[in-house]
């Protein structure tokens, strides 16, 4: 575990922490300086220029151009610095590296479930390798939750019927708290967990131990044939009734109404449960709506399967 944190910030455990912490302290110290300067000026001026008797009439004061320019320009520059810095951090927080290791997170009242690419599952404790970018693809089976790891400086709402994601790269082995930060019912405050950061070797050993479930992509492949998806969607690029799944994930797709979108997890889920929402250009709106009853395990599996068709 790295440092133990400060009065203001918890310990720092990810590559995202230093940049965000510097930004916090930059705004913090500017606020301290301005607060002290304004408070001292108010007190000094109140004493120095107080009305001493009833006939005390102050002289007429005209504006000081230099002073007025300074207090317009300096705060504007400070605000622009904070905006630029913050926006760059925001982009970094929302741009997972392409090689990030993906783990599915399912939130439910009142626990966190994790599914790894090989089918290994865990509850509460999220085990991740150190020094490797990890992307969490998260959804909820009931109400709104929010995934928060203070030490990693990441927090993201977890919403039913859609996917949201966060990424981080842990910088030190150890255990870090996971909190739910969206009020989700009576046991909300008990919806806790830990991120357990392990060395690459320990993580691999843990990953291979006691795998009971089918890998999500494997289950997806099974559904693909069992549910007859293969009748309309090929995985080898052949054109059938519907678009091929080959190379679908991450592809820029154009729809009959002229709009476009990059095929991500949410697009795939929407196309399965609400197939009339977006019709791919050049294809008929022929997909049946019977798949809206798929549960989150089935949808996660199909998304994982489609991601592999590259
Ligand atoms: Cu889940 Cu609060």
Average pLDDT rounded to a whole number, residues 109-137: 92
Specify whether the CB–CB gap between 245 and 287 falls below 8 A: no
Of the candidates 278, 276, 281, 274, which has an alpha carbon nearest to the alpha carbon of residue 254? Answer: 281
What's 199's DSSP letter?
-
- The response to whether residue 92 sits with its C-beta less than 6 Å from ligand 1 reads no
Q: Which atom number of ligand 1 is nearest to the Cα of residue 184?
A: 2
Digit-coded pLDDT (tens) for 172-224: 999 999 999 999 999 999 999 999 999 999 999 999 887 777 888 888 888 88
What is d(CA 71, CA 68) in angstroms, rounded to the nearest whole number?
A: 5
* Nearest CA residue ID for atom 1, ligand 1: 145
Q: Give the pLDDT confidence score for residue 195 in this predicted structure.
A: 95
Give the DSSP letter string of 177-190: EEEE-S--STTGGG
Distances (CA, A) of 23 to 8, 88, 293: 13, 11, 46
Of the candidates 177, 201, 275, 267, which has an alpha carbon nearest to the alpha carbon of residue 232? Answer: 275
Question: Strand locations in 117-254, DSSP E?
Answer: 121-123, 125-129, 133-140, 145-149, 154-158, 164-169, 174-180, 193-198, 252-254
Which helix (H) or strand (E) covers residue 262, if one does? strand 260-262
Centroid of ligand 1 to alpha carbon of 145 (angstroms): 4
Digit-coded pLDDT (tens) for 294-305: 888 888 889 999
Of the candidates 302, 293, 249, 254, which has an alpha carbon nearest to the alpha carbon of residue 273? Answer: 293
- The response to whether residue 178 sits with its C-beta less than 6 Å from ligand 1 reads no
Is pLDDT of 148 > 70? yes
In the block, tokens 């925001």 appear at 90
Centroid of ligand 1 to alpha carbon of 295 (angstroms): 20
In the block, tokens 């890998």 appear at 215
Centroid of ligand 1 to alpha carbon of 175 (angstroms): 20
Q: Give the pLDDT confidence score for residue 3 in this predicted structure.
A: 60
Average pLDDT rounded to a whole number, residues 104-114: 93
- The response to whether residue 182 sits with its C-beta less than 6 Å from ligand 1 reads yes
Q: Give the pLDDT confidence score for residue 1 in this predicted structure.
A: 42
- The response to whether residue 180 sits with its C-beta less than 6 Å from ligand 1 reads yes
Q: Any idea of the CA torsion for 198, 200, 201, 206, to the nearest 10 degrees?
A: 60
């Amino acid at each position: 575990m790295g440092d133990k944190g400060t009065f203001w910030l918890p310990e720092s455990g990810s590559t995202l922490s230093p940049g965000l912490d510097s930004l916090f302290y930059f705004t913090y110290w500017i606020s301290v300086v301005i607060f002290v300067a304004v408070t001292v000026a108010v007190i000094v001026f109140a004493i120095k220029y107080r009305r001493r008797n009833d006939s005390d009439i102050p002289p007429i004061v005209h504006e000081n151009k230099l002073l007025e320019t300074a207090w317009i320009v300096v705060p504007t520059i400070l605000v622009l610095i904070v905006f630029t810095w913050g926006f760059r951090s925001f982009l970094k927080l929302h741009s997972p590296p392409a090689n990030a290791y993906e783990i599915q997170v399912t939130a439910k009242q009142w626990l966190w479930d994790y599914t790894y690419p090989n089918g290994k599952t865990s509850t509460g404790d999220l085990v991740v390798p150190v020094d490797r970018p990890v992307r969490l693809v998260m959804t909820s089976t009931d109400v709104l939750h929010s995934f928060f790891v203070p030490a990693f400086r990441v927090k993201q709402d977890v919403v039913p019927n859609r996917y949201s994601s966060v990424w981080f790269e842990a910088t030190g082995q150890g255990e870090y708290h996971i909190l739910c930060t969206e009020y989700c019912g009576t046991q909300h405050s008990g919806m806790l967990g830990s991120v357990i950061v392990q060395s690459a070797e320990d993580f691999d050993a843990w990953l291979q131990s006691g795998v009971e479930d089918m890998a999500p992509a494997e289950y997806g492949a099974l559904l693909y044939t069992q549910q007859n998806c293969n009748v309309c969607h090929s995985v080898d690029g052949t054109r059938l009734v519907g678009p091929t799944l080959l190379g679908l994930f991450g592809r820029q797709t154009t729809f009959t109404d002229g709009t476009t979108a990059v095929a991500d997890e949410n697009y795939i889920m929407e196309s399965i449960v609400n197939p009339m929402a977006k019709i791919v250009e050049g294809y008929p709106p022929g997909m049946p709506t019977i798949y809206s009853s798929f549960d989150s395990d089935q949808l996660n599996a199909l998304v994982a399967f489609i991601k592999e068709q590259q």
